[in-house]
Amino acid sequence: MTEEITPIENVEEEVSLEQFSVNGSLSSFTVRLSGLIVFLALMAVATLFIFDLTTSMDIISDIRITIPLVILMYFVKVLFQYLALLGFAGIGKSQIRLGFSTLNFSPFVHAKRPFELKRFRIYLLLPALCLSIIPLIISIILHNPIVYFCATFAMAFCISDLISFFRSLTMNGNMLAADHPKLYGFVLYENPFSN
């Protein structure tokens, strides 16, 4: 006989889904605004301290770079999440759902079942680490504005995962986590197998 796993709810106060909630969901507005702020802040830092304004504006306005980068970033992020599910989360290929969201107009990958939050954190962090944080550091060391722009752009694409990662650090790593079924972020479940 299997026991149904139910989501954790906030018993102290009810939180609107438009705000951060106890289940880890994020509104689309919050995610998009956060991504835009991070992108603009990193480009401002680059313009003020690393590269000249002309170089930064030339890169941003070059649609031969930006349009393919947008398309590529969606698919590469999904690839890294897929690899994180296979390699770190212990999720088999048959338990991974790949698809395309018409709501967000983007590809997605999700595990069909929840898994430990400590492994879920790797799933959240791997794309941001490989696509933005490491390339950002390398671009500063090598003084390469195109790599910097690509890494900054990737950071904006990975912002929901980064916010979710940092929010998850305050929670017990033995809980079960899954992507939120409708919003950005995650939901948590009690782990019947933990002590």
- Given a cut of 60, is residue 19 above it in pLDDT? no
Range with the poorest average pLDDT among 27-31, 84-88, 130-134: 27-31
Average pLDDT for 146-162? 86
d(CA 120, CA 101): 21
Question: Whole-prediction pTM value?
Answer: 0.74
Average pLDDT for 15-42? 64
Residue ranges per domain, the chain? 37-186
pLDDT-derived band at 24 (thresholds 50, 70, 90) equals low
Higher local confidence (pLDDT), 148 or 29:
148
Higher local confidence (pLDDT), 27 or 124:
124
Taking alpha carbons only, the member of 193, 182, 130 closest to residue 23 is 182
pLDDT-derived band at 58 (thresholds 50, 70, 90) equals confident
Q: Exposure of 108 by Cβ count < 10 A (0-12 exposed, 13-18 middle, 19+ buried)?
A: middle
Q: What is the pLDDT of residue 62?
A: 81
- Given a cut of 90, is residue 134 above it in pLDDT? yes
d(CA 192, CA 1): 13
Q: What is the pLDDT of residue 18?
A: 35
Residue range 66-119, pLDDT digits in tens: 788 878 888 898 899 999 999 888 888 999 998 887 766 778 888 888 888 899
> Under a CB-based contact definition with an 8 Å cutoff, are residues 43 and 56 in contact?
yes
